[in-house]
Chains A and B, each alone.
Chain A
Amino acid sequence: MAQISRRDFLKSLPALPFYKVAWPYLATAVNNQRQDAHTPNILFLVFDTLTARHVSLYGYGRDTTPNLARFAERSTVFHRHHTTANFTSPATASIFTGTYPWTHRAFHLHGTVDEARVNKNIFSLLPDAYYKVAYTHNLLVVSLLHQFRGELDLFKKTRELCLSDLEFADRAFFADYSEAFWAEWLFLRGGATPPSSLFLSLFDRGRRFAKKRQITQAYGELFPRGVPSLHSLYFLLEDAIDWIHDQVTQFPRPFFGYFHLLPPHEPYNTRRDFVDMFAGDGWKPVVKEQHFSSEKHTQQFLNQQRREYDEYLAFVDSEFGRLYDYLDKSGILDSTYFVLTSDHGELFERGIRGHITPTLYEPLLHVPLLISKPGQRERVDVRQRTSSVDLLPTIMQVTGQAIPDWCEGEILPTFGSESSKDDRSLFALEAKSNPKQGPLVKNTAVIAKGQHKLIHYAGYPHHENEYEMYDLTNDPEELNNIVTSENVVATDLKNELDKKMQQVNQPYWS
């Protein structure tokens, strides 16, 4: 080997600054080239509040999702995919962390993941070679993404794809977003009680109504039921879809994109071309008994709301179709895992409308999951029960990463070498009333195993320690509570759920 003389070394010294400046770029370019050949992109598209029970692809009585059906023809379709909770914070945290709500602890509105687990998420586990990008309309997801923002290459701000966003919290207090959000909310908007601000809140109220009037004047003709919104956030789904399909061709490869769009979350403000598309179609849902937590809505009101939701869903589907066509034509799907799912569902039965409820019936937990593998051309149907905690280990599997031992999910069927077990126990939880760092005393918990699903209500006044059990194969509408008639199965599931709750509560009893 040739020796480097002192003179040669000194001669090379002037070039050092060049290497210092150029090396990171050269390294990235080399890395990208290497990754391009072997590493797929990952595109996550989450439509908020999209229940599988209203998706025609899964057998719903109305043709709500013809474009999803087209996409299904080149995807793996999961027929029994379930989320872990009935609203955004815990359900999305489960997607991000691969853990159940009792583990990640984000089970409140605007809940955040336990500090000890902040670095254990899908963004941090993917290698640095991935360009990681996230966008959401949903401010509850913003709270979660704020925790992981250090892992993101691009965390696009919600307001950048909105018509208006009158929130201050993330403008002035970026590092304390969740706390600032609540402070602003309670100060200017209030909740069950009036806002704590006497004067500025009224000024803010006037400002919001003026903005609403202005936006309604501009877009009211296109959206006769109101412009898509949530609180003071007004947006067009079309803008977000346009942005995604403009950007995915430009992101550095490989990329991991997480896009969480609010529709069909209420208010169900569909576009003009979908208004009344299901009016008078004669389709009627099964009428169910009132639940103890019923909001006393009439069946007529629930049917009307259901129809408006379905019409909004048809609009969402058409926008999805537009994105899908673009991705297909651009060839991105040949090198990308395209995941379509939802965080939770919506309920229009038992006197309840929406998803802020103590119940955990199937319309709230059963969500769509379709995954198109790079270059996939054939449809694959998976009928085993799966959970949103399975998404993280599956992404780790397809990107060649090790699956962390703290993950509570499994690799989805057809994505791993092992065949998935159909008799595994899956869980869901509603626990808003409990402290983040305390035992879960008042909650609704679900265990599902095989064809049975057991629901346990704990801590509710007059309904302490109540159970319901359903045979989801023979009674998918959950009409017949068989907890007493199927005593043997019920006892097994009760024992298993009880053991699980004791285990998750154990660290918090002191």
Chain B
Amino acid sequence: MFALIETALVFLGVVLLGAALPAAWFRRKFVTLSTIVVFIASVWFIFLHYNTQIIDQRQLVPALIWSGSLVLFITLVSVAALRSMRVELAIDAFVKRLAVLSFIYLFIDALSVILVIIRNI
């Protein structure tokens, strides 16, 4: 349930990003660019989990370095993907394979959510 909420929020964030950015820049290559954003952000957040003193002690400089480098990496990889058809195709192919697995998860998740709601209302 908790994981589903987080997944929905991340997905919502990417959708909002797609809606906010120019159509030519993001919407036409939604799958590729959103994959880049989510994957790189995930890796960066894993780093943050091993350096939680940045949050606990409100360390401003490390926090700026962390978020600046995240934005920079996403931008660089996105530009590379926009310019290279081969990179774009590779990411697309990878995501399509993942999507099949995701459908199985989604089905089980939906069943679990219904069960939890019925038990707790």
Segment of A48-56, A167-175, A270-278, A346-354 engaged in the interface with chain B: A167-175
B42 & A194 in contact (Cβ 8 Å cutoff): no
B6 & A197 in contact (Cβ 8 Å cutoff): yes
A180 partner residues in chain B, CB cutoff 8 A: 1
A187 within 8 A of B: yes
A205 & B42 in contact (Cβ 8 Å cutoff): no
Distance in Å: Cβ of B37 to nearest Cβ of chain A = 12
A187 partner residues in chain B, CB cutoff 8 A: 2-3, 6
A-contacting residues of B (Cβ < 8 Å)? 1-3, 5-6, 9-10, 41-42, 45-46, 48-50, 52, 55-56, 116, 119-120
A195 & B45 in contact (Cβ 8 Å cutoff): no
B3 & A196 in contact (Cβ 8 Å cutoff): yes
B45 touches which of A172, A196, A202, A206 (Cβ 8 Å): A202
B6 & A194 in contact (Cβ 8 Å cutoff): no
Residue of chain A at shortest CB distance from B46: A198
Residue of chain A at shortest CB distance from B44: A198
15 A-B pairs besides A188-B2, A198-B49, A202-B48 with CB distance below 8 A are: A173-B1, A173-B116, A173-B120, A176-B120, A184-B2, A187-B3, A187-B6, A197-B3, A197-B6, A198-B42, A199-B10, A199-B41, A201-B49, A205-B55, A205-B56
B49 & A199 in contact (Cβ 8 Å cutoff): no
Q: Which of A180-200 contact B (CB under 8 A)?
A: 180, 183-184, 187-188, 194-200
A211 to B1, alpha carbons, bound, how many Å? 25
Q: Which 8 A-B pairs have the closest CB atoms?
A: A187-B2, A194-B49, A198-B45, A175-B119, A200-B6, A175-B120, A173-B120, A206-B55
A180 to B55, alpha carbons, bound, how many Å? 26
B50 partner residues in chain A, CB cutoff 8 A: 194
B45 partner residues in chain A, CB cutoff 8 A: 198-199, 202
Give chain B's interface secondary structure class: helix
B-contacting residues of A (Cβ < 8 Å)? 172-176, 180, 183-184, 187-188, 194-202, 205-206, 209
Give chain A's interface secondary structure class: helix
Distance in Å: Cβ of B58 to nearest Cβ of chain A = 8
Return 9 A-B CB contacts under 8 Å, by A number. Answer: A173-B1, A176-B116, A183-B2, A197-B6, A198-B49, A200-B9, A202-B49, A206-B55, A209-B55
Distance in Å: Cβ of A115 to nearest Cβ of chain B = 15
A196 partner residues in chain B, CB cutoff 8 A: 3
B10 partner residues in chain A, CB cutoff 8 A: 199
A199 & B6 in contact (Cβ 8 Å cutoff): yes
A199 & B3 in contact (Cβ 8 Å cutoff): no
B2 & A197 in contact (Cβ 8 Å cutoff): yes
Distance in Å: Cβ of A192 to nearest Cβ of chain B = 14
A205 to B51, alpha carbons, bound, how many Å? 12
A194 to B42, alpha carbons, bound, how many Å? 14
A371 to B107, alpha carbons, bound, how many Å? 56
A201 partner residues in chain B, CB cutoff 8 A: 49
Distance in Å: Cβ of B103 to nearest Cβ of chain A = 21
A200 & B49 in contact (Cβ 8 Å cutoff): no
A209 to B54, alpha carbons, bound, how many Å? 12
A504 to B107, alpha carbons, bound, how many Å? 41
B9 touches which of A172, A173, A174, A199 (Cβ 8 Å): A199
B49 partner residues in chain A, CB cutoff 8 A: 194-195, 198, 201-202
Contact flag A174-B120 (CB < 8 Å), given A198-B46, A202-B48, A205-B52 = yes
Distance in Å: Cβ of A143 to nearest Cβ of chain B = 16
B55 partner residues in chain A, CB cutoff 8 A: 202, 205-206, 209
A175 partner residues in chain B, CB cutoff 8 A: 119-120
B56 & A209 in contact (Cβ 8 Å cutoff): yes
A195 to B46, alpha carbons, bound, how many Å? 10
A196 to B3, alpha carbons, bound, how many Å? 8
Residue of chain A at shortest CB distance from B1: A183
B119 partner residues in chain A, CB cutoff 8 A: 173, 175-176
A187 to B3, alpha carbons, bound, how many Å? 7
B5 partner residues in chain A, CB cutoff 8 A: 200
A172 to B1, alpha carbons, bound, how many Å? 11
Distance in Å: Cβ of B87 to nearest Cβ of chain A = 24
Distance in Å: Cβ of B98 to nearest Cβ of chain A = 17
B52 partner residues in chain A, CB cutoff 8 A: 202, 205
A183 to B1, alpha carbons, bound, how many Å? 8
Distance in Å: Cβ of A171 to nearest Cβ of chain B = 10
B41 partner residues in chain A, CB cutoff 8 A: 199
Residue of chain B at shortest CB distance from A179: B116
A206 partner residues in chain B, CB cutoff 8 A: 55
A198 partner residues in chain B, CB cutoff 8 A: 6, 42, 45-46, 49
Distance in Å: Cβ of A274 to nearest Cβ of chain B = 28
A172 to B120, alpha carbons, bound, how many Å? 7
Most chain A CB atoms below 10 A, which of B2, B46, B50 = B2
A195 to B9, alpha carbons, bound, how many Å? 17
A194 partner residues in chain B, CB cutoff 8 A: 49-50
Distance in Å: Cβ of A201 to nearest Cβ of chain B = 8
A209 to B52, alpha carbons, bound, how many Å? 11
B48 partner residues in chain A, CB cutoff 8 A: 202
A29 to B55, alpha carbons, bound, how many Å? 58
Residue of chain A at shortest CB distance from B10: A199
B1 partner residues in chain A, CB cutoff 8 A: 173, 180, 183
A196 to B2, alpha carbons, bound, how many Å? 10
A196 to B7, alpha carbons, bound, how many Å? 12
Distance in Å: Cβ of A429 to nearest Cβ of chain B = 32
B116 partner residues in chain A, CB cutoff 8 A: 173, 176
A172 to B113, alpha carbons, bound, how many Å? 12
A194 to B116, alpha carbons, bound, how many Å? 25
Distance in Å: Cβ of A385 to nearest Cβ of chain B = 44
Distance in Å: Cβ of A83 to nearest Cβ of chain B = 33
A468 to B50, alpha carbons, bound, how many Å? 41
